[in-house]
Structure 1
Amino acid sequence: MTCEWRAGVSLTPGDMDTQCGDLSALSISDKSSETPAESTYNASTCRGEHEDNAGGFGELSQLPIEINERRPTCLRCGRPQKVCLCPFLPACHLEVSTSLYIVQHPAEESRVLRTVPLLAACLPPEKCKVFVGRRFNEERNPELAAVCQDLRTLILYPGPDAENLEDMNMDFSAAPYNVIIIDGTWSQAKDMFHRNALFRLPKQVQLNSSPSSQYVIRTQPTNMCLSTLECAAVTLAIMEKNKAIEELLLRPLKALCSFQLQHGAQVHHSKEHLLRNGMYDKPMPKNKRKIKRMERLVSNQNI
């Protein structure tokens, strides 16, 4: 940041340095005609002017300092206390046998309207663990590596090799299972999935009959895309065979979106919806791969 400051004198700091140097040279050359007292006075006066005016710090130091204090934050939901969502959270942690492991892209940490803190507030700490990073391996992440190598671990990531979770002929109540969910934008999630060999060890699953997203304050690629909290809610409802879990987990998300819309936020339609209805107002990409991807969105083909 560049800041200009005008002192009470017309000299710049560079000019003052030069003039101070000239005065010092003059006092040395005329040392025979000056008394020691006069020489000391000239040098100290020059230093004083230089210290008072150099860079304007003399006057700037007298200005009041503004301290921006962060708003008090709720320890449970992670929201500012004035917009706390705890009234919409379950009264106590939900009892589930499935353990969720959220691998979160670092960029998600700085987002204000995140869903993972709400998810974590609804579940016991040992049932919802968050790992932040782009790259994970057995040496740096032994706990996550052990989970990936467990035969009772599933990773929720759509694709041609993924099996529909609803159609799996498995009794998830017979033993506790683990589910890994990647938290990030779709491009970030794709990059993390393909660059981490650990994530290709668990069985890959996807949600086939998921509801329309309630997370309307962020843009999704398609109408079928869900937020991390919504994915977790649907997954737990299926694996725990309890539809009420989904409803309880979605309550704080609905409250969050409702509050934002009441205070000026706009409904964000999916990119698919915007393209289909001629509402997409951004420049079309020049990359052929991205153009084909957008064409598939319009034609409702799987991506």
Structure 2
Amino acid sequence: MEARHSAMGMWTHSRPEKVCLCPFLPGCPLDVSTCLYIVQHPAEESRVLRTVPLLAACLPPGKCKVFVGRRFSEERNPELAAVCQHSKTLLLYPGAEAQNLQDMNEIVTGDVQNVIIIDGTWSQAKDMFFKNSLFHLPKQVQLSSTPSSQYVIRTQPTNMCLSTLECAAITLSIMEKDPAIQEVLLKPLRALCSFQLQHGAQVHHSKEHLLKCGLYDKPLPKNKRKMKRIQKLITNQKI
């Protein structure tokens, strides 16, 4: 357990023993060939309940690398640039040009692949994607269908939006052709949410749910672009 505490760093050391997440982590790191590269918005570093440390604790050293920043370039980030230029790299980001990961036939079990995931709010992720040319080099993929998020202690834009850990769990289960991976990675996330709810946290429904149920208690935006996004959430249109 101490070794796993070390793997999770100060984020785990700050948790009391009675809400320790170590019992919910796999006994040994998952044996995967896929390498995850998390490009993380700086604001995520200060969030107490972020999910990337849980993800990293479940995977072998070197299989989950985190790069923090808003802007990335070949000069400042040569390792990340090399990954973006690699033929075996995929970028998980939805869009018109993205291929559904579940439909890809060229994924070969045991063949080393790289997957880049942007970690931040949806607006932060969008800004990072469009303002970093490096992220336009890999093949862009998306998850064609996803379950409702189990990360219920943080508000999501829509019912189908997932946390970084949940995206990684589904992606790895597809890449490795092993559905059991998803359950292993989601186990500590469920425990985290359960502990928080037992100690005063509230279930956070998505903005989509609150708007449709008339429970959204914040002033509606006056900006026409933002208001259009709100209307799309209510009518189930893709954003």
TM-score range, shorter chain: over 0.9
Contact 2:110 2:176 in 1 (8 A): no
The equivalent position to 1:96 in structure 2, one of 32, 36, 41, is 32
Q: CA deviation at 1:121?
A: 0.3
Structure 2 Cα separation of the partners of residues 174 and 104 of structure 1:
27
* Secondary structure of residue in 1 paired with 2:29: coil
Structure 2 Cα separation of the partners of residues 130 and 171 of structure 1:
24
Q: CA deviation at 1:84?
A: 1.9
Normalized against structure 2, the TM-score is what? 0.94
The residue that corresponds to 2:42 in the other structure is: 106
State the one-letter code of the partner of 1:75. S
Q: CA deviation at 1:210?
A: 1.1
Q: CA deviation at 1:174?
A: 5.7
Q: CA deviation at 1:81?
A: 4.2
State the one-letter code of the partner of 2:109. S
| Equivalent residue runs for 1:194-273 within 5 Å | 194-273=130-209
The equivalent position to 2:6 in structure 1, one of 56, 75, 80, is 75
State the one-letter code of the partner of 1:121. A
Contact 1:76 1:86 in 2 (8 A): no
The equivalent position to 1:278 in structure 2, one of 181, 199, 214, is 214
Contact 1:101 1:128 in 2 (8 A): yes
Structure 1 Cα separation of the partners of residues 108 and 215 of structure 2:
43
State the one-letter code of the partner of 2:121. T
State the one-letter code of the partner of 1:117. P
What do the CA deviations read for 1:199-227 (whole angstroms, capped 9, x no partner)?
Answer: 00001111111111000000000000000
Contact 2:33 2:110 in 1 (8 A): no
Structure 2 Cα separation of the partners of residues 171 and 74 of structure 1:
33
2:162 is aligned with 1:162: no
Aligned residue pairs, count:
231
What do the CA deviations read for 1:78-98 (whole angstroms, capped 9, x no partner)?
Answer: 322413211000001000010
The residue that corresponds to 2:107 in the other structure is: 171
* Secondary structure of residue in 1 paired with 2:160: coil
* Secondary structure of residue in 2 paired with 1:75: helix
Q: Greater Rg, structure 1 or structure 2?
A: 1
Q: CA deviation at 1:74?
A: 3.7
Contact 1:154 1:178 in 2 (8 A): yes
Q: Which runs of 5+ in 1 are unaligned?
A: 1-72
Contact 2:153 2:203 in 1 (8 A): yes
* Secondary structure of residue in 1 paired with 2:7: coil
Q: CA deviation at 1:151?
A: 1.1
The residue that corresponds to 1:152 in the other structure is: 88
Structure 2 Cα separation of the partners of residues 174 and 263 of structure 1:
42
Structure 1 Cα separation of the partners of residues 107 and 208 of structure 2:
36
The residue that corresponds to 1:287 in the other structure is: 223
Contact 2:101 2:141 in 1 (8 A): yes
State the one-letter code of the partner of 2:6. L
State the one-letter code of the partner of 1:162. A
Q: CA deviation at 1:75?
A: 2.4
Structure 1 Cα separation of the partners of residues 20 and 70 of structure 2:
30
Which structure has the higher relative contact order (CA within 8 Å, separation 6+)? 2
What do the CA deviations read for 1:54-93 (whole angstroms, capped 9, x no partner)?
Answer: xxxxxxxxxxxxxxxxxxx942333224132110000010
Contact 1:74 1:81 in 2 (8 A): no
Q: CA deviation at 1:171?
A: 2.7
Measured on the aligned residues, the alpha-carbon RMSD in Å equals: 1.2
Normalized against structure 1, the TM-score is what? 0.75
State the one-letter code of the partner of 2:33. S
Q: What fraction of aligned residue pairs are identical, expressed as a percent?
A: 75
* Secondary structure of residue in 1 paired with 2:62: helix
Structure 2 Cα separation of the partners of residues 119 and 284 of structure 1:
35
Contact 1:74 1:84 in 2 (8 A): no
| Equivalent residue runs for 1:13-24 within 5 Å | none
Q: CA deviation at 1:168?
A: 1.3
Give the structure with the higher percent helix: 1
